Amino acid sequence: MMGNFFTSLFSMFWKTLSEQPDPKADFLAVFPASTQPIISILLSIVPIIAIFAGLFALTTWLERKGLGRIQNRLGPNRVGPYGLFQPVADGLKMLTKEDIVPRAADQVVHFLAPVVLVAPTFLAYSVLPFGRNMVPIDLDAGVLFFFAVGASTELSIFMAGWSSRNKYSLLGAMRAIAQMISYEIPLILSSVTVIMIAGSLSPVAIVDKQSGYHFGFLPGWYVFTPWGLAGFVIFLIASLAESNRSPFDIPEAESEIIAGHLTEYSGFKYALFFLAEYLGMFAVSGLGVTLFLGGWRAPFPFLDWVPSYLWFSAKLMALVCLFIWIRGTVPRLRVDQLLNFAWKFMLPMSLINLFVAAVWHFTSVWNFPGAGLWRWLLCALMVLAPYVGLGRALSGNKKLTKRAYRFAS
């Protein structure tokens, strides 16, 4: 029995690494039929939790080291070689720190808020194709499922702010909800352009549609089209706001409202909010890779020998590093600037980009010489002209000047 178990376990891992379809079948055959559904679920859940929890720890170290270098300092360098054990020290600190709950707080809702935030975040990973034949659940409406489970984050943030019985927590929660609702609309609309062109809500089908090449050398990723590039930029900016990342970290502006909806949280519950923020950033980055960057596909045919899950991981980490770079270089926006940018620029550009994607689709029937190039130029002009017009209208035609700093005497 044990020999069959280890043989089937090795076979499952080998088929997974070699990207063969249904690698769990041989392993599940060892167990009774009544237990196979539960074991199959665990084989999908445990790797996701283990890998992305480990990636969370690694990213916190990478971000602190990266921000340190950007700001001309060392970052973590005391615990372990190059400070690599700093995430372990932080985790132990959060586990042993006292959990303080305000006397007037709603005890049950205060406890459930971080749980309600973390659980749906893990659910979002279930529809992302991490590689060839490597998707936990291949849903026909996978993109819709992703946004549906992600919508619960607003509820959990409101639960945290309202249950704390603290005016700063409540104000921070309302600001966070206003920001997330404002940027969730362009985030979804930028994804709709991909759904329109691909003709499917399935992430697996969307990745399959991005095979081939433009002009014989550009990968067939949607980001290499005029509407795809505009949609990817909109998606990226909205993802920063949805993940509460700088320069959109208004809900936790300590100089204004202490720590926002997290003001009355400490210990492990505070760590869960911190974990959910990073897991949400990984999830939305994974969706961006799937929708615009070809998912697990290699950029060139001669690189197909590299395992597909490594390509997905490389693209995901590239976006995470971009988020870290933006945090270290772009200053925080004011709340009025943040909301004006969402409603007066991001939303109109998202709607215009939908129209451009429709034009791209209907002009695909052009068959005269140079039709492909003319289609590119037409769609690029239709994106650039509103971009310039909306940008000037939002800035009020103000001229950028060098800031003069004055010091107190």
pLDDT in tens, 135-169: 888 889 999 999 999 888 888 888 988 998 888 88
Q: Is the peptide bond prior to 247 cis by the omega test (within 30 degrees of 0)? A: yes
Residue written as tokens 């919508």? 151
**Buried/exposed code over 285-302 (b: 16+ C-beta within 10 A; e: otherwise):** bbbbbbbbbbbbbbeeee
Q: What is the CB-side half-sphere exposure of residue 241 using CA atoms within 13 A? A: 27
Place 19 in a pLDDT band, splitting at 50, 70 and 90: low
Q: Which amino acid is at 365?
A: V
Residue 203's pLDDT is: 93
pLDDT in tens, 37-60: 788 778 878 888 888 888 998 999
Residue 36's pLDDT is: 72
pLDDT in tens, 312-364: 999 999 999 999 999 888 888 878 888 889 999 999 999 999 999 999 988 88
Mean predicted confidence (pLDDT) in 197-222: 86
Place 393 in a pLDDT band, splitting at 50, 70 and 90: confident
Cα(338)–Cα(60) distance, rounded to whole angstroms? Answer: 26
Q: Which two tokens stand for residue 293?
A: 């960057």
Please list the residues that pair with 213 across neighbouring strands.
219
- In this predicted structure, the answer to whether residue 14 has a pLDDT above a threshold of 50 is no
Radius of gyration of the chain measured on its C-alpha atoms: 23
Q: What are the CA-CA distances from residue 200 to residues 14, 116, 191, 203 (Å)?
A: 31, 29, 11, 8
Residue 398's pLDDT is: 64
Residue 347 near residue 185, CB atoms below 8 Å: yes
| DSSP string covering 340-372 | HHIIIIIHHHHHHHHHHHHHHHHGGG--STTHH
Residue 155's pLDDT is: 87
- In this predicted structure, the answer to whether residue 71 has a pLDDT above a threshold of 80 is yes
Q: β-strands 218-219, 213-214: how paired?
A: antiparallel
Cα(91)–Cα(278) distance, rounded to whole angstroms? Answer: 14
Measured in whole angstroms, the distance separating CA 259 from the mean position of its chain's CA atoms is 22
Mean predicted confidence (pLDDT) in 212-239: 88
